Amino acid sequence: MAEQVYSRIGRFIVRKLERQRRVWHVRFRDTITGRRYCRTTRETSRRQAEARAREIVDEFEARARGEFAEPVGFAGAFAEWLDSRTTRETTARGEASVGVLFASVLGADAVVSEITPQALQAALSRLARERAPTTMRRYRRVLRAFWRYCTTRTPPYAQSDPAQTLPRPVGAARGGVALERLEAARLLIAASSGPPYLRLAIEIALHTGLRKRNVLELRWKHVASEYGFGRLWLPNTMMKSGRPFEMPVHPELQVALRMELKRMGSFDLRATVVGHRQKPLRDALGPLRTALRRAGLDESIRWHDLRHTASTWWLDAMPLAAAEKLADRRIPGAAARYEHLDFRRLKKHVDALPWIGAGAVAAGAIKTEDSHG
């Protein structure tokens, strides 16, 4: 039935275009979906008119067979792809941030079927100026998975895969950097002259080894318990590993949390520890670089390097099994030892760690940009 309707429509279009070789608005209804369509054509010869008519008929026949999808925007298709995946919440949030980033770079009106390999490569080249090769590899991996979905779904959103020809980002993966305790103390002193939340955020990262997202999303309800501020607990939805995380809090960090609570003047369990906000901060890379410059440290140090620093300090002060449990991951470069470590044993190792600020002050090695000025 559908093929007969489409053939009649095609003959009607051809007759009209042959009779009047000027602008034509071809209006007809799709018998399958009931939607109305309009096509505007401007042909100057009979051959072009016939070719255009056949294109319109072929398009609607393909739609009837389920082989053609309506043009869809990049943001909408990316959201649909995320909904079709069964991944951990933390992984899905990371992939969603990639989609938002490329939607802003490609344009709000970007259509999946019209994005070319050249446009996609230009967007990657623009982002590569401020991002590490490891991050660009992750972007490339996410884009290839997304376009694989667009070309294999029924009906497909795109006939070709522009991400298939994307070159691998050039550059070696950047290794982690671990700060010495004196360097960390200088960084804390320099952070004191920055935003009010910066010093506490750095202390949390150095003492807990949490990732930047976990530090910024940490709320008072995650650190307040029957231990006072001596226990930190995060649900599995916040952890990259997908497991709930528990660790004892270093005494120096407990003092910092009490001082922050006193400075804040009020206590809201739902507010974030960093910034006292209901909605967490998105990033704090700019203030960190300013503090690094004031402390005389390398400005290429990232938030994740503070996690490497914590892992390095733990390896120097406690057994490997305890360090891996605190880091919530396997630490490469060492053979794993299987030990059963409960909270009390972990607390013993954490309390034995030296303080950052006290050791630096005793050494008299704190130099900031202001002292030179």
**One digit per residue, pLDDT tens: the chain, 373 residues?**
444 444 555 556 655 555 544 444 445 444 444 555 445 444 455 566 666 666 666 666 665 555 555 678 888 888 888 888 766 666 777 788 888 888 888 887 888 888 888 888 888 888 887 777 778 888 888 888 888 888 877 677 777 788 877 777 665 455 567 888 899 999 999 999 989 899 999 999 999 999 888 999 999 999 987 667 888 999 988 887 778 889 999 999 999 999 988 888 877 888 899 988 888 888 888 899 899 999 999 888 888 889 888 888 888 888 888 888 888 776 555 434 334 456 776 788 888 888 887 544 444 444 434 444 4
pLDDT the model gives residue 56: 66
Q: Given this model, what pLDDT does residue 8 score?
A: 58
Query: What pLDDT is recorded for position 227?
Result: 60
Contacts of 268 (CB under 8 A, 6+ apart): 220, 276
The two tokens of residue 355 are 């303080």
Question: What pLDDT shows up at residue 198?
Answer: 93
Long-range contacts of 62-66 (CB under 8 A, 24+ apart): 63/30, 63/32, 63/155, 64/2, 64/3, 64/6, 64/30, 64/32, 66/154, 66/155
Q: Residue 251 in contact with residue 228, Cβ under 8 Å? A: no
Domain 181-372 has CATH 3.50.50.60: no
Cross-strand bridge partners of residue 225:
228
In angstroms, rounded to a whole number, what is the distance separating the alpha carbons of residues 136 and 124? Answer: 8
Q: What Å distances lie between residue 268 and 31, 196, 234, 249, 255, CA to CA?
A: 59, 18, 17, 20, 18
The pLDDT of residue 359 is: 47
Contact assessment for residue 112 and residue 158, using Cβ atoms and an 8 Å cutoff: yes
How far, in Å, CA of 68 to CA of 61, rounded? Answer: 9
The answer to whether 233 touches 227, Cβ cutoff 8 Å, is no
Structure tokens of 77?
Answer: 């298709």
d(C-alpha 308, C-alpha 327), whole Å: 9
Query: How far is it, in rounded angstroms, from Cα 360 to Cα 186?
Result: 8
Q: Is the torsion defined by CA of 294, 300, 301, 303 positive or negative?
A: positive
168, burial (CB in 10 Å: exposed 0-12, middle 13-18, buried 19+) = exposed
Task: Return the pLDDT at 291.
Answer: 92
Q: Which helix (H) or strand (E) holds 38?
A: strand 36-41
